[in-house]
A and B are shown apart, each in its own frame.
Chain A
Amino acid sequence: MNENPMLPFLGKLVEVRDLAAEIKLFRVEMLNGGGEAFRTFQPGQFAFVSAFGLGEAPFGIANASGRGPAVDFAVARLGSVTTGLHELGEGDIVGVRGPLGNWFPMKKFKGKNLIVLGGGIGGAPLRPVIQHVLDHRSDFGRLTILWAARRPDLLVFTDEYAEWRTAPDTDLHLTVDIPDEKWSHNVGLITQLLEKISPPKENTVTITCGPPIMIHFVTKMLQEKMGFSPKNNYVTLEARMHCGMGKCGRCNLGEKLVCVDGPVFNMEEVGGLLETFL
């Protein structure tokens, strides 16, 4: 590790492609010391990506460590750093600081059924979970994916749905708030889709990522309508953060810090605090 933990590693963009409207996938090959730091990382961890000259921002790592040496990030063009990243192309250099934060306890999930609920770009940090399950398929029970977005053109990783659908013991359910004329799947909020499917709670854990309001209503429904124990509901939270190492103070959730105590939380530990996040 560098003496200065704020100093990023350099990484080369080896692939940049459109993932959805205003959302791009950046595949980074780490250079120099970064290769060792990112030799392995866990589903749920995040990293800061720098657009040098504009700044850096945190992103959930969007691929499983076992899927090759590169590191994927899904970036929605929203602020100055993400706009700067969107202007970069293959061969350009970015900074990467990480891997940071905790992760989904995949070992603990062995033998269990998994329900993965992703909303919009919130699906990005869940893709490594899906990839990990598919790569170790016999370790897990049924995998149910609920994938939502405001509009069809905002759904991420559409080119991978075929792989997910055809994997053994795996279901994919799609929903959008505002369909277009070609849309043939569900219409409505992810909570409506969840209620419709009503997967059994036995031997099952849920993993949710999306806008804070979605996380709030999904976990509420899981617990109040479907009888899930909060300890079987995992969420990954996003917060504005500037260091990712428990120093800058920005991402607190009560006495917890999203960067070092999270971003993955069990609802049993953060249940009451989540409201301060809305």
Chain B
Amino acid sequence: MSQTNPDKKRWLISQVELEAWLDGIASARTLIAPFQESGILLYRPVSKSAEIAWHGQTSMSVHINRPVLSVKEIFFPPTERLFTIQKTGQEIHLEETFPDWETVVFGVRPCDARGVKLLDALFLDTNPVDSFYARRRGNTTLIGLACQELGPTCFCTSVGGTPDNPRDMDIMLYETDGYYLVEAVSEKGRFLIPGGEWKETTASPQQTTYNRQFPVLDKKIWPEHFNDEYWLRISERCLSCRACAYVCPTCRCFAVRDEMVKPGEFERIRCWDSCAGENYRRVAGGHQPRAEKSDRLRNRIYCKFYYYPEQYGLGASTACTGCGRCLDVCPVGVDITEVLMDLEKPA
């Protein structure tokens, strides 16, 4: 089912027009787009559209090869300074700095935009508001790009998404025969569109077809499976390496600690962390709940499908966007879609 709105204003632009537009954006703001770095595709700041990892002349390499990391890191960086600490004798002085640059992200996939929406529920919509996330989010415009097909590990369609869903974007682009159909989704997005220069169209975007569907248990059913022996079995091969959480667009656990900059000067930082890690729950004194990796793997899966949605009022939504990155990176082939299928089977 397409989520596109027939009343939305749309424009049809060429690759040349698209690049000129992005160049204009990059000259005034920070433009972040898919970029090849050390042989992998990542969202990185680019100074002009030519630096973007385009594929051929008219389409993007990202159409299946979505960036290795989601756009999460733009709003919630792997490491963030919360404040600096100056110590002079007994005197303590704390100083804060907030990010406040305007950013436009180009080439956002619907699964990743969904991920940002899910993080909003925690960082923006649940008090207290996270000041760092809020600043970045408020100053960022998301330009989406519809996926033309599902990638080999994609399963957004099983968790309430579609490959061409514009709902969580500010602007949505659909590739169509060498052209791009542009749709303004939000007010913020409308603001970025150069009104008169582009050719308006009444055409509707072509819907992406797909036929892959995995079963997701109703939230009410999850508690019944908590003590299943299954968790021991599926986690046997888990290495607790936390790669799944690192690439996940919605894993948001973080650790806070102080780092020394130079004698007398420190930074309190937060950095990504994951419940899959062995010492994640260990308290001073040595007590370690969730000591078994089966406890930890189960917690991560429950967080996606039960805990996080319950904690942050997501209703029937899951906290998994179906991007499939965890399937791509797991060194031992723990596959969340396999878990979903296994749970559906009668015990």
A binds B: yes
B275: chain A residues within 8 A (beta carbon)? 249-250
| Contact among A10, A55, A78, A91 with B256 in the assembled complex (CB-CB below 8 Å) | A55
User: A240 an interface residue at 8 Å Cβ cutoff?
Assistant: yes
A78 touches B285 (CB 8 A): yes
Q: How far is the CB of B276 from chain A (nearest CB, A)?
A: 12
Q: How far is the CB of A59 from chain B (nearest CB, A)?
A: 11
A52 touches B266 (CB 8 A): yes
Residues of A within 8 A of B (CB): 1, 3-8, 10, 52-57, 76, 78-79, 81-82, 91-93, 95, 211-212, 238-240, 242-243, 245-250, 252, 254-257, 276-278
B311 touches A246 (CB 8 A): yes
User: B35 an interface residue at 8 Å Cβ cutoff?
Assistant: no
User: B179 an interface residue at 8 Å Cβ cutoff?
Assistant: no
Residues of B within 8 A of A (CB): 82-83, 85, 87, 90-92, 94, 96, 98, 122-123, 126, 128-132, 252-258, 260, 266, 268, 270, 273, 275, 280-285, 287, 289-290, 295, 299, 302-303, 306-307, 310-311
A277: chain B residues within 8 A (beta carbon)? 289
Interface of B is mostly: mixed
A10: chain B residues within 8 A (beta carbon)? 92, 94
A91 touches B90 (CB 8 A): yes
CB-CB under 8 A for A248 and B256, given A5-B128, A239-B283: yes
Q: How far is the CB of A10 from chain B (nearest CB, A)?
A: 6
* Given A239-B289, A248-B273, 16 further pairs, Cβ under 8 A: A4-B131, A5-B129, A10-B92, A53-B266, A78-B284, A93-B91, A212-B287, A239-B283, A240-B283, A246-B311, A247-B122, A249-B303, A250-B255, A252-B299, A254-B307, A255-B310
Chain B, residue nearest A213 (CB):
B287
B268 touches A6 (CB 8 A): yes
Tell me, in angstroms, the Cα distance from A238 to B260 when the chains sit together.
28
Sample of 8 A–B contacts (CB below 8 Å): A52-B266, A55-B256, A239-B283, A246-B122, A247-B254, A249-B252, A252-B299, A255-B307
CB-CB under 8 A for A246 and B126, given A53-B266, A78-B285, A212-B289: yes
A240: chain B residues within 8 A (beta carbon)? 280-283
